A and B are shown apart, each in its own frame.
Chain A
Amino acid sequence: MTMVPQGGGTISRAGGGGSGNLYDILELILDRGLVIDVFVRVSLVGIEILKIDARIVVASVDTYLRFAEACNRLDLEEGRKAPSQLTDLVGEVTEGGAHGKAKGALSGAADVLTDALKGGHDDEEAEQSEKRRKEPEERRERPRRRPAARRREE
């Protein structure tokens, strides 16, 4: 795996099993890794906010209401066409499709972290170009999912 600096410092990765970018491994770089207790950690403004944003709250009135609303909105007809067991899908999904899915989607925590990081710092142009690069993918993947993540922020 290599890190290839591209225009404006955008990071992408070639080879290896993953195709993620820096955001996908933010929590590893920031929260894991060796800590040496006699060293001093520089103040990381914005990091606390970032963690609170990312926390999931399942058992709350807000979540209940959101789920109820989501169920009401669902088109159940569409659901009847779908297989009821996960394993029913085996064989229907082409290798390319599954691979692309697993590789291509950049979402969940990474996006939440992305927003927090961007919000906390009026950062360099690289983030903007990175954001633009990701947008088409997000438009496809995110709309139904983002509201969920958002409303769980409290």
Chain B
Amino acid sequence: MAVYVYSIVLATHPQRLDGLHGVGDPPATLRTVRTEMLSAVVSDAPEELRPKRRDLGAHQAVQEQLMADGTVLPLQFGFTTVDDDAVRAVLEDGADEFSERLRALEGCVEYHLKAAQDEDALLRQILRESDEARELNEEMRSGRSGPELPLALGELVSQEVQARQERLAVEVLDALRGLAREERSSQPTGNDFLNVSFLVERDNEKTFLGAEQDIAKELGEDFDLRLLGPLPAYSFV
């Protein structure tokens, strides 16, 4: 039977799985596949697996509980292999590589930060500070405008939005990066201008959280900062 793989930990990790269940409906039972150096948490793979809340939650809950007792390499959601022997082979072949990564992540957690700015507030700011944008806007509002005017205003504003948000993203990153061991940014989505994960040492966690709060305070209520964590180091495995 196919095997769903959740995490890899050192063989010395306690691997408490009590109270947890695996993916699928009904939920699969969790077990471990052990080698001398490493251990993988697995379950039988359900015949059909879709990224449902229940399954994503089960995958995440395994990582969180393992993380409470030590360092964990969380797998990406949805990976399966043929049987326990195949898992064992991967653990043996990759023993050095996985152990080294586990050592590198020891005592570290991931924090994920997203940030957005209220769009109206941003547009007001642009109209206040750019004479050209303000004039174009007034002209459009007066009703005398031709069809090219909205595009001219929109393009100008769009460039301003991008430039300002890029600057803000850099400022936030600069303020936090000194407190993290690694960082990984990705393309912000929706209205966000920042989407970044930090690898933070447990010893540094308080300072990091304090710094993030200071930034949130300084930016003020037009901004929406969502900091999530501590998480298993999904972005740094």
Determine whether the beta carbon of A56 is less than 8 Å from that of B237: no
Contact B161 A67 (CB under 8 A): yes
Question: Contact check: which of A38, A72, A149 meets B137 at CB < 8 Å?
Answer: A72
Q: Chain A residue with minimal CB distance to B86?
A: A38
Number of B residues contacting the other chain (C-beta, 8 Å)?
88
Binds A, one of B10-18, B30-38, B58-66, B173-181: B58-66
Question: In the complex, how many residues of chain A place their beta carbon closer than 8 angstroms to a beta carbon of chain B?
Answer: 89
Are the CB atoms of B217 and A95 closer together than 8 Å? yes
A145 to B217, CA, bound (A): 21
> Does A101 sit within 8 A of B, measured CB to CB?
yes
CA distance A120 to B18 in the complex (A): 32
Q: Per-residue CB proximity of B23-46 to A under 8 Å, as 1/0?
A: 000000000000000000000010
A9 closest partner in B (C-beta): B54
Contacts of B151 in A (CB 8 A): 61, 64-65, 68
B137 and A105 within 8 A (CB)? no
B107 interface residue (CB < 8 Å to A): no
Cα(A46)–Cα(B3), bound, Å = 23
Knowing A33-B237, A90-B218, the reply to whether A55 touches B155 (Cβ < 8 A) is: no
Expressed in whole angstroms, the minimum distance between the Cβ of A146 and any Cβ of chain B is: 9
Inter-chain contact count A-B, CB under 8 Å? 290
**Are B234 and A28 neighbours in the complex by a CB distance under 8 Å?**
yes
Using an 8 Å CB-CB cutoff, how does the interface string of A113-154 with B read, 1 for contact, 0 for none?
Answer: 000010001011011001000000000010011001100100
A93 & B220 in contact (Cβ 8 Å cutoff): yes
Which residues of B184-219 are within 8 A (CB) of A? 186-192, 195, 197, 205, 209, 212-213, 216-219
Q: Report A118 CB to chain B, min CB distance, Å.
A: 9
A11 to B55, CA, bound (A): 12
Interface residues, chain A, with chain B CB atoms under 8 Å away:
1-3, 5, 9, 11, 16-18, 20, 22, 24-36, 38-42, 44-47, 54-56, 58-59, 61, 63-72, 74, 76, 78-80, 82, 84, 86-87, 89-90, 92-93, 95, 97-99, 101-102, 105-112, 117, 121, 123-124, 126-127, 130, 141, 144-145, 148-149, 152
Residues on B lying within 8 angstroms of A by beta carbon are 5, 8, 45, 49-54, 56-57, 59-61, 64, 73-81, 86, 90, 94, 110-112, 114, 116, 118-121, 123-129, 133, 137, 140-141, 149-151, 153-155, 157-158, 161-162, 186-192, 195, 197, 205, 209, 212-213, 216-221, 223-231, 234-235, 237
- Top 6 nearest A-B pairs (CB, nearest first) are A64-B154, A89-B220, A79-B124, A109-B189, A33-B76, A18-B228
Q: A18-B112, A92-B220 are in contact. List 7 more A-B contacts (CB 8 A).
A: A17-B212, A41-B76, A64-B150, A68-B140, A98-B217, A111-B190, A127-B53
